Amino acid sequence: MFDLAGLTTLKLPFKAKSLIRLTSIENVCVSMQQLGSIPRLVVGGGSNLVILEPEFDGIVLRPEIQYYDIKESGNDVYLEVGAGHPWHQLVMKTLDAGWFGLENLALIPGWMGAAPIQNIGAYGVELKDHCHRVKLYDFEEQSIIELSVPELKFGYRHSVFKEIPDRFLVLTVTLRLSKHATPRVCYGEISEELERQGLDAEKPHDIAKVVISIRQSKLPDPDITPNVGSFFKNPVVRPEVADRLLEEFPEMPTYGSGEYTKIAAGWLIDRLGLKGQKIGGFAVNDRQALVITNDGTGTADELRALVALILSSVKATYGLSLAIEPTQLGQLN
């Protein structure tokens, strides 16, 4: 067995039978046809993956594809990027090239290939806003296919990959960017922070700078403190459910109007006094309660116990069931 704990940012114990590095699209087709029915797990940057099975009796696939192709059409830029490209580096590279759109998504950890899986999102922008299509390896048909945006079924932290989890391997993602900046600074702190730092809301580089500083002040760096970012999704409820809760908790942050209302799960957990709560090596982060950190010694059972405590406390006080955000190997509850 190979020790692969270092491949994930949560650093839970993880061994697998073998690891296959996929470095090109051609390489994927040849290697995958030989796999047969052996269980497989795709691990890119490993920053949104929770390993609850310390010994995986299968093969870990690491999509390190470095493809990069640019097509311009008027003010639009169509950028096809290999699954192995680190996301934050890509954001900075596009801004330096004068191609805009990804500035609010700066400093998100992980690789390109994982971005469509959970439809990464931050500060009012989601991948879906700039995704044009995704090239995939289809394990069932043993062939390469492309999915367009409607076929990808993007939603809040959701995509077709969540509905059919083990069928596809992302090879490349084509992003649609623009040579014209369209600044999006409506999300809470962004405009306040731009003003505080004396930066320009019209400049995408300045927006990225502010996003980076907000993230650095709120979220623990996964390279230093093991974590997977938000551990839970913000619950999306009918407005009447949110209104009922707001009567009891008037200061509860909510977003959106219309058919559904999103509630800030970090606030729900924070208000229960759970920040800093520890079980073994795991703790609820004391700056952002949606994040669970590992001091490097944590076990899967300790994580299960802390998650169970958070879920039962939230359910008991607010009547809401939080959903786990990261991908899991094995059972969390």
Query: Contact residues for ligand EPU (CB under 6 A)?
Result: 122-123, 188, 218-219, 229-230, 233-234, 253, 264, 266-267, 270, 288-290, 325
Grouping H, G, I as helix, E, B as strand and the rest as coil, residue 165 is: coil
Nearer of residues 98 and 155 to ligand EPU, judged by Cβ = 155
Nearer of residues 92 and 211 to ligand EPU, judged by Cβ = 211
CB 68 within 8 A of CB 142: no
Nearer of residues 35 and 324 to ligand EPU, judged by Cβ = 324
Q: How many CA atoms lie within 13 A of 249 on its CB side?
A: 16
Q: How far apart are the first and last CA of the chain?
A: 26
Smallest separation, CB 206 to ligand EPU (Å): 17
Instruction: Provide the strand spans (E) within the chain.
Output: 2-3, 15-22, 40-42, 49-51, 55-63, 68-73, 76-82, 121-122, 125-126, 131-138, 143-148, 168-178, 227-230, 236-237, 254-255, 261-263, 278-279, 282-284, 291-294, 327-329
Nearer of residues 12 and 22 to ligand EPU, judged by Cβ = 12
Smallest separation, CB 123 to ligand EPU (Å): 5
Smallest separation, CB 269 to ligand EPU (Å): 7
Residues with catalytic annotation? 157, 230, 325
* Phi, psi for 21 (deg, rounded to 5): -90, 120
Q: How far apart are CA 162 and CA 152, in angstroms?
A: 10
327-329 and 49-51 strand pairing: parallel
Smallest separation, CB 25 to ligand EPU (Å): 28
Smallest separation, CB 38 to ligand EPU (Å): 31
Nearer of residues 144 and 332 to ligand EPU, judged by Cβ = 332
Greatest Cα pair distance, the chain, in angstroms, is: 59
